[in-house]
Amino acid sequence: MVEAGDIRRERFLREPVVKSKGGLKHWIDALADWLEERFEARSKDVYVVNGGLSVSGLQHVGRLRGEVVIPEVVRRILESRGLQVRQYLTLYTQDAWKGKEGQRRAFPDPESAKKYTGWPLVRVPDPKGGPSSWIDRFWADFGPYIKDFTDGKVEVVTTTDMYRGKLLEFVKLSVARREEIRQIVNKYRGRKPYPPSWIPFEPRCQNCSRIDATEALEVDFENKRMRYRCRSCGHEGWAPLWDGKLNWRIEWVGVWWALGVDFEPYGKDHATPGGSRDSANELAVKVYGIMPPEGLPYEWVSLKVRSGESDMSSSDFIGFTPREWLEVAHPEVLRFLILRTPPMRKLSLGLHEIPLYYDQYYRAERVYYRVESTGRREEDILLSRSYELSYTRGKPPGTMPAQPPYTHIAILAQILPEELWESEAPRRLQRSGHLPEEPSDFDLERVR
Ligand SMILES: [Zn+2]
């Protein structure tokens, strides 16, 4: 059941502009109001917002939405109100590589890649045979660009590192209180309850490397190791306590516990009442005595192609990456599209529609500078505020930047050799009247 005070009842999840604290506000300002009130009850010196990703394959732009951009904008709004906030992005690098068809196809010989099934992501090799790893290969299209889509103050942490550090203590705690954990988890598991002997930790098999097939049998705290039996290869032995992972519901709480998380959005699949987020919340309160973070359910981002659309998916390799977006468009335009869409509304994106997105962005810009109005107050608030918050550094300039049409720049980019771009492109745009005679830095930014 969804109780009073639960965010799942809030109108700003689906309505772009709502009444909050007296006035009509953009949904993300209403969310910030909602959070500020709850943060006050926590009364901390520094609040923590967090996002989470598992690098299971293509790191598409959909993952920027709920795990990076929304928390970043919320953080900056709260900071502007005088709160101190830290932002993390947690990579679940100990998760098992599932060996889905799309993942196997990333290897030149998909059949032989089956041998990595069940391995922790962090140990799976680079599918292209390079010196890096699976994670390095796919993170390269996402991680280095987070700073372009944000103010650059997002700290990336991995569960692999955490198990060697702060989570080690949490693992011990979880093993000690496993009976309480089991009773709570079993309430949510329904038909497949864990038996009384269950230990909520999955060591990595030291023989076949699977992390999804072992059964923990015995814990030796003194030597920080765990005895296990592998259901896949039959091996029985000891694994170090850092070389494995907690059952995922408990790991989720472990990350909150280790980082002190106060706000963390979650994909809509976790949002069902009685679903996984509720179970993690109950564990946090009853077993570990911590206040679970405030949440925010969000809808998926789908990939629009000319023939239709489908949900972006990491392990199915559907979507495009932040790197690909930056090759053809400014990060502010993507931020604008994310901000214009309430979190529980679907966002559909296609690279072929970028000229259209620029038209929409420029229109919002004109509304912001009061050169134009949509004629509807709520729509003006939505566009103007989404535009304002699209800036990754600071605020929009005092005067409206030039609006060179995207298609015009795209054509120029095809004609001009790359080495002439910086000197020649602004000149051509001045001649065609798309840039002023004395362009500002903001004007020139449009041509980059
Ligand atoms: Zn094994």
Å from CA of 126 to ligand 1 middle = 22
Å from CA of 120 to ligand 1 middle = 13
* Domain match, 184 and 207 both: no
Residues with C-beta atoms within 5 A of ion ligand 1: 205, 207-208, 230, 232-233, 235
Å from CA of 210 to ligand 1 middle = 6
Residues with Cβ within 8 Å of residue 386, at least 6 apart in sequence: 26, 336, 339, 340, 364
* Domain match, 240 and 140 both: no
For 317: left if phi > 0, alpha if psi spans -120 to 50, otherwise beta; the answer is left
Rounded to whole angstroms, the Cα distance separating 405 from 387 reads: 17
* Domain match, 13 and 121 both: yes
Q: Look-up: residue for tokens 């830290």?
A: 86
Q: Which whole-number Å values give the CA distances from 433 to 235, 361, 369, 407, in the listed order? A: 73, 20, 20, 15
* Domain match, 224 and 152 both: no
Chain length of the chain: 448
Owning domain of residue 102: 7-189+249-298
What backbone torsions phi and psi does residue 166 show, to the nearest 5 degrees? -65, -30
Which neighbouring-strand residues pair with 155? 88
From 247, 231, 118, 119, select the one nearest 194 (Cα to Cα): 247
Q: Is 420 helix (H, G, I), strand (E, B) or coil?
A: helix
* Domain match, 220 and 173 both: no
Rounded to whole angstroms, the Cα distance separating 225 from 237 reads: 10
Residue 56 is part of a domain; what is its CATH number? 3.40.50.620
Rounded to whole angstroms, the Cα distance separating 303 from 310 reads: 5
Task: Determine, yes or no, domain membership for 370.
Answer: no
Å from CA of 171 to ligand 1 middle = 22
Task: Determine, yes or no, domain membership for 73.
Answer: yes
* Domain match, 131 and 236 both: no
Å from CA of 287 to ligand 1 middle = 31
Predicted confidence pLDDT, tens digits, the chain (448 residues): 556 578 888 999 999 999 999 899 999 999 999 999 999 999 999 999 999 999 999 999 999 999 999 999 999 999 999 999 999 999 999 999 999 999 999 999 999 999 999 999 999 999 999 888 999 999 999 999 999 999 999 999 999 999 999 999 999 999 999 999 999 999 998 889 999 999 999 999 999 999 999 999 999 999 999 999 999 999 999 999 999 999 999 999 999 999 999 999 998 877 777 788 889 999 999 999 999 999 999 999 999 988 889 999 999 999 999 999 999 999 999 999 999 999 999 999 999 999 999 999 999 999 999 999 999 999 999 999 999 999 999 999 999 999 999 998 988 888 999 899 988 999 999 998 999 999 999 999 888 7
Å from CA of 212 to ligand 1 middle = 9
ipTM surpasses cut 0.95? yes
Rounded to whole angstroms, the Cα distance separating 397 from 395 reads: 6
